[in-house]
Structure 1
Amino acid sequence: MKISNYKQTVFLLLSLLFVFQSCDSDYLEAQPENNLNTDAIFQNRNQTERWWAGLFTRIPDFFNMPYGFQYSFMTDELDSSQWNLPVINSGALNPASSPSNFQQLYESIRLCSIFLQNIEGNQELQSLQNGDKIIAQYRGEATFLRAYYYWYMMRQVGPVVIVPLEPASPTDELQIPRSTWDESVEFVLTQLELAKADLPTDYFQTGTTTVDASQIGRINKMIVEAVESQILLYHASPLYNGNTTMTDFTNLDGTQLLNSNYDAGRWATAATAAKRAIDIAEANGKGLYTANGSSAFETAYNSVRNMYWDGWQTEGVWVRPSSAVTGTYEIHASPRGIAGTAYNGIAVVQKLVDDFRTASGLKIEDDPNYTEVNYEATATPYYVAGTNSMFANREARFYANVNFNGAVMPGNPKPGETAVEFYNTGNSGKAGAPRDWPKTGFSARKNVHPTFSVNPYVAVSRPAMLIRVAELYLNYAEALNESSPGNPDITNYLNRVRNRAGLPNIASGLSQSQMREEIRLERRIELCYEGAHRFSDVRRWMVAEEEGYKQGGDYFGMTMDAGNTLSSPEFHVRSKAFERASWQRKYYFLPYGQNEADRNLELVQFPGY
């Protein structure tokens, strides 16, 4: 087969894979019906490539909300309790109800190991033009995916049980304790280094330096470096580095699973890894996406809004070829004023709304021009006349990411409906539907396309970015602030993210602790609703009970029971929107499932479960 046909086959396999990625059953369950055993599969090129494609199925889809990827709904970002309630929010989280998908991840880890055990013997692949290179790339991708699935599990349950690299047989001893966090990190990083040796920097068209669009979604060195940056940033963070409050988290033999000895050098290592990831990404054409507008503010707005459909090729370092954004997310996030009537219920909590800065770059409490008692006489491209002034003169990301009372409709509106109306009797208010309304009076707007409508159904298919350049910049700024406070690169890379969003440079002369808070706030805003960042960040920083970071308790919003006009003052009053279970220490980690603990008697749960 010619190499061009090979690439078309790869693209078809990836396309088919991600079309069916939401299925709960394993991609390869159909194989026994074809009377194929493992040996037969790996003697046949097509079956081998089907197996290889199936290895990608557990890569998460961050925009598969609200019923799939739920981590934003377990934090002070979003709420979907009109439709579902994650067990951690009700206080019912226990090993029998764990939302961790560890079991599916172990299944994928095993499939990666079987693939790696057998791929070298496929003579059909070996005989292809560049067969050795093709097999090496497949091997590198499978090695990466096996490591990544462990890392994804570690973000949920902490130190993990690492199974043998050779696929187990029914007679193998599988009573295996957790590895320590440090051992888990070392194992994953070692595997990533092995993968990197077999992977290209990117996949280019034959004989050119042009990226081959048919290879989008395949693993390359840029992706490996980006994931290493993420791992090492976490590894340096307080939950995992010098944690003296969780010395009771031990294996049955007394082995302490979290390192209580602080190692300041981890931050420097994390900074070096982040800069390395940035350098390789930028050397291959990646950078912050920007789009033009008629003014500086409109340029910022277009840049932060359009990056999800126009800018992923520029900003996306690791890109998922397909996403449920066009299936479940957009219809659940969009207001009922959208043509065809969307579901209008992915609610944004008041605290996040308040954390978005004003257009001058100030926090709302620091801006003397911020007010909540006036109403705007003049419409703008972002809100209509009569909108409360608390929503005026805010930063561009606020208008790109949040629907509020008076916001211009985010997609294709119904006839005559130009603005989002969340007040009680408004077009998207509580009085108009039994449950299709956001409890807080705000809904998610990020990554809702301006042409989206339900009927006629208009949805622009697009990939999703799992890791993007802005995250790498913020990783670097955070790690550098902890390892080398005052280093000019801290403000340099932080300001790149701020400036793209239309904000001025950060104030000079900030202390290390002040800069830490600015960096954390920037992650809060820039990465909101994406990739479980908030879920992980408040945990790794060990701040889940601190003011400004509190997880659990009372959450606020506008008064959804009140108001019969856009400018009704009674609607624009903060009131309790819902309540979640109070934070408990055990929530720093999700439990392994009880079924796993029953099978593996060496497996300990985090204390409290």
Structure 2
Amino acid sequence: MKNIKPTNKIMVSLLIILSILTGCDNDYFETQPDNLLSIDEIFTNRGQTERWWAGLFSEIPDMWGQPYGGYYYSISTDELDASNHSNPAINSGALNASTTPVNHSVLYQKIRLASIFLERVDDNEEILSQKGGVTIIRQYKGEVRFLRAYYYWLLMKEVGPVVIVPTEPGTPESDFQIPRSTWDESVKFVLSEIEAAKNNLPDDYYLEGTTVDGTQIGRINKIIATAVESQILLYHASPLYNGNSEMTDFRNPDGTQLINSTYDASRWETAAIKAKEAIDIAEAAGKGLFEVEDTDPFRAAFLSVRNLYWDGWEKEGIWIRPSSYTWGWETRTAPRSTPGTAFNYQSPVQRLVDDYRMKDGTSIDESPLYNENKFTNNGTQYYDKGTNLMFTEREARFYANITFNGAKNPGASKAGDSNSRVEFFSSGSSGKASAPRDWPTTGYTARKNIHPTFSVNPKITVNRPGMIIRLAELYLNYAEALNEADPGNPDITKYLNMVRSRAGLPEITTLISQDRMRDEIRLERRIELVFEGHRFFDVRRWMIPNEPGSNQGGPFFGMNMDAGSYLSDPDFHKRTHAFSRTAWQRKFYFMPYGQAEMDRNHQLINFPGY
């Protein structure tokens, strides 16, 4: 395994890290007075050029900033509800071109600034005169070309086929009346740009030999670029984009059909090949699934999946964001029994809770141990005596990801015996009765990525990077694509089992049908990647957002937050309608472009229904 420098160096000495940590002002270059700084001056000065370069990283998303900062995915899908504090327009059906959450203007701004950088950076004699200056500029150009393509990819995930602007920076006289490219054209363009960028990217950034320079974490390398290619090709092969005959009315003004209705089975093979390539290059660089050793196998699985986000990012992280707003995530998600009183409102829906397996790998419907009408006489390090049996004997990820009534506090605890556990029943310490809106609508809160020492006041938080892509995702990408391309291939169970085994689940050892394997892979993505921004897009690309078990609209359920006066109160432990969202509509497959963009570009059409 290649060596990585100590992690206490990752927050220092690199402009990119400064940019991402501080959230570089998106309007920085536009707000510079013309008489103080010109484009020519910027690109003849090393410091200003590198500041421009660093600013181009600032729209890389941070999933742990949710539900704010434009990261609305978990609370708009069947993962979380945050309607006591934040409820996106899509949930109420009020989504339109005026209320769209897509930050297309900012992304197109970054795309334009990237094009200017690529056009002008070779003029910087100050950088070229430095030792290794030619290599520095080549790598900058590779990163910026990748970022330009990646920002298009972010747009494509949300709006589908995109408007691709000329790669040469425009002038006020340029014609920007540009229709959308088709989905296939958009994918071809983005993949060609990433492939070209890879020619200027290193496998990783090294101090010398094979020692990875910890101060360069967050910079784009071939490992990251190949992983993103894997994600793009997986989407490209999926039913929403591959042989979708339901969207033949999605056309440009000239009649061009934007999503190809002819199925191409070879896309799955291409996606599988690229996913395996991404895995191989990552593993060759020393990446692997993070695992903790313990004499108790269940405890080892629990610590492996819980501690991954602060102890395991070096091992498992493929694309790492040097800083992440985990403080905000923890504050909004932890129960009120946390010192300083957290906000206690990011609420998993009952369906997600039910999808977690029992520790032997069976579903709650299959297991004789699952019971919603009885309570345990024995406490554990995961829950207190008196906890409902529906929350006992569950798989390790359940205890790492979901906080339930009777669970041990995920972080630090206020003084008092009752505060060492979580009480969501109505009169409990984190219940509805004593808080106007800081209570979970479903009787659960998210627990994933809350550090066990977390406290609001005194403020105790462990600063840590965020993993935009991690190796477990690549394993699941590969298993999914291979199951569609070559059912029965032994690599399918091999890579799926690697993720299951780390979580303490038994391996799948018997040959099962392609359909059954598809369900297993989809469930694994549901649980393993929960709250990390995948589910919103997965249900869409699989075209299942209105199917039982994955409905994105209608009623959602949880425990009865209006009832309960003690931990084992049966009145609380009743499945109750918690909230409703508008019924699923076909137009919700894609977000709309904003009205301002529609007003400027008369060749731009939105998806039918907006």
Q: TM-score range by the shorter chain?
A: over 0.9
> Structure 1 CA distance, aligned partners of 2:129 and 2:10?
18
Give the conservation status (yes or no) of the 8 Å contact 1:27–1:57.
Answer: no
State the secondary structure of the residue aligned to 1:31. coil
State the secondary structure of the residue aligned to 2:13. helix
The AA in structure 2 aligned to 1:469 is: L
Give the conservation status (yes or no) of the 8 Å contact 2:46–2:127.
Answer: yes
Deviation at 1:279, TM superposition (A): 0.1
Is the counterpart of residue 148 in structure 1 residue 150 in structure 2? yes
> Structure 1 CA distance, aligned partners of 2:462 and 2:295?
25
What TM-score do you get using the length of structure 1 for normalisation? 0.97
In the other structure, the counterpart of 1:360 is 360
CA offset digits 1:69-89 (Å, max 9, x no partner): 111100000011000110000
In the other structure, the counterpart of 2:219 is 218
Aligned runs of 1:146-295 on 2, under 5 Å? 146-205=148-207, 207-295=208-296
Aligned runs of 1:90-169 on 2, under 5 Å? 90-169=92-171
> Structure 2 CA distance, aligned partners of 1:70 and 1:573?
29
Is the counterpart of residue 577 in structure 1 residue 578 in structure 2? yes
Deviation at 1:21, TM superposition (A): 1.6
> Structure 2 CA distance, aligned partners of 1:22 and 1:500?
38
State the secondary structure of the residue aligned to 2:171. coil
In the other structure, the counterpart of 1:89 is 91
In the other structure, the counterpart of 2:72 is 70
Deviation at 1:559, TM superposition (A): 0.2
Deviation at 1:465, TM superposition (A): 0.2
> Structure 2 CA distance, aligned partners of 1:112 and 1:299?
45
Aligned runs of 1:465-544 on 2, under 5 Å? 465-530=467-532, 532-544=533-545
Deviation at 1:575, TM superposition (A): 0.4
The AA in structure 2 aligned to 1:139 is: K
Equivalent pairs: percent with the same residue?
A: 61
For structure 2, the residue ranges without an aligned partner over 5 or more in a row are none
> Structure 1 CA distance, aligned partners of 2:34 and 2:116?
19
In the other structure, the counterpart of 1:335 is 335
> Structure 2 CA distance, aligned partners of 1:484 and 1:134?
42
> Structure 1 CA distance, aligned partners of 2:52 and 2:511?
55
Deviation at 1:426, TM superposition (A): 0.5
CA offset digits 1:168-205 (Å, max 9, x no partner): 10001110000000000000000001110000000111
The AA in structure 2 aligned to 1:419 is: R
CA offset digits 1:504-559 (Å, max 9, x no partner): 012512110110011000000000000x2001000000001111111010000000
Count of matched residue pairs: 600
Deviation at 1:374, TM superposition (A): 1.2
In the other structure, the counterpart of 1:308 is 309
Give the conservation status (yes or no) of the 8 Å contact 1:558–1:571.
Answer: yes
Give the conservation status (yes or no) of the 8 Å contact 1:251–1:604.
Answer: yes
The AA in structure 1 aligned to 2:309 is: Y
> Structure 2 CA distance, aligned partners of 1:545 and 1:429?
32
CA offset digits 1:555-602 (Å, max 9, x no partner): 000000000000000100000000000000000000000111111000
> Structure 1 CA distance, aligned partners of 2:522 and 2:48?
46
State the secondary structure of the residue aligned to 1:318. strand
The AA in structure 2 aligned to 1:512 is: Q
Is the counterpart of residue 377 in structure 1 residue 377 in structure 2? yes
Deviation at 1:30, TM superposition (A): 4.8
Give the conservation status (yes or no) of the 8 Å contact 2:10–2:217.
Answer: no
CA offset digits 1:12-40 (Å, max 9, x no partner): 312321232285x4243453377111011
C-alpha change, 1:33 and 1:569, in structure 2 (3 Å) is: farther
Give the conservation status (yes or no) of the 8 Å contact 2:395–2:505.
Answer: yes
> Structure 2 CA distance, aligned partners of 1:382 and 1:9?
34
> Structure 2 CA distance, aligned partners of 1:580 and 1:270?
34
The AA in structure 1 aligned to 2:333 is: A
Aligned runs of 1:359-508 on 2, under 5 Å? 359-416=359-416, 417-508=419-510
Deviation at 1:10, TM superposition (A): 8.3
State the secondary structure of the residue aligned to 2:247. coil
State the secondary structure of the residue aligned to 2:578. strand
> Structure 1 CA distance, aligned partners of 2:472 and 2:434?
39
State the secondary structure of the residue aligned to 2:33. helix
For structure 1, the residue ranges without an aligned partner over 5 or more in a row are none
Give the conservation status (yes or no) of the 8 Å contact 2:539–2:545.
Answer: yes
Give the conservation status (yes or no) of the 8 Å contact 2:11–2:17.
Answer: no
Give the conservation status (yes or no) of the 8 Å contact 1:335–1:342.
Answer: yes
State the secondary structure of the residue aligned to 2:609. coil
C-alpha change, 1:405 and 1:177, in structure 2 (3 Å) is: same
Give the conservation status (yes or no) of the 8 Å contact 1:28–1:54.
Answer: no
